[in-house]
Amino acid sequence: MEKKPIVLAVAGKGGVGKTSLAAVMVKLLVEAYPDKKILAIDADPAVGLSTALGVEPTLTLDDIRKEAVEAAENGDARATVEVLGEARYRIFDCMVEMDGFSFIAIGRPEAAGCYCKINTYLKEVISTIADNFDYIVIDGEAGIEQINRRVMEKVTHLLLVTDSSKKGCDVVKTIKGVADNLVMYDKVGVVVNRVPSEDVLKFMDLGDIPLLGWITADANLTERDLKGESVFYIPTTAPIVGGMHAVLRKLDII
């Protein structure tokens, strides 16, 4: 039986460090599995994962989508068919090959209006390409709906990220509620980031979401983020590296 990829999607409230955690997961997978094929998908319009991984993408999937939409709006049916036919190959133009992993950016959300056939087609293309990889890490925007709508319908692991705030906890519970209806997943859990002390955890209401792990606040990481440094330069002793290693180990991924 053909083995499907392990797909880890990261979601949570804006500003809780999702992108840093997603990038560190890519780093840990690359180091643990140098012989495996790893794909990082930046599904956040802010395209922060590229900076965190030291990637400079020149083309996004939405650039391709835009071409097809413009062809459709111009009434050029033949051009639309041609663009869609080329999309499978153009997606490889979007993909950036790095040392140990590949990277693709989804880009900004599609323009107003319904282009369901185009979106569905491109999502199918992504899923087809995804089957060529062993591990996929998706850095999503604050919600979860766009992962289902714009990237893929099924993830194996849904990692919800919060800080130690009540709002952050409320958001991850809301996202899980939405995901239960919209996204097919095998496992779900929450990672609490930037925790001032372990004592704070007992006051947090995460509902029925399993706690996968927690990571202490790290001033050095904040400084690295501001400088736009790649996570591959983060020392193994950093809290975020040790914390995410423990999370991936708990999930039996490494």
What pLDDT was estimated at residue 47? 72
Going along the chain from its start, the domains and CATH numbers come out as 6-56+96-109+132-250 (3.40.50.300)
Rounded distance between C-alpha atoms, residue 93 and residue 88, angstroms = 10
| pLDDT score, position 149 | 61
Q: Are 24 and 201 in contact (CB under 8 A)?
A: no
* Low-confidence residues in the chain, pLDDT < 50: 112-114
pLDDT of residue 168: 92
Residue with tokens 């490889």: 92
Residues in Cβ contact with 234 at an 8 Å cutoff, skipping those fewer than 6 apart: 24, 27, 221, 224, 240, 241
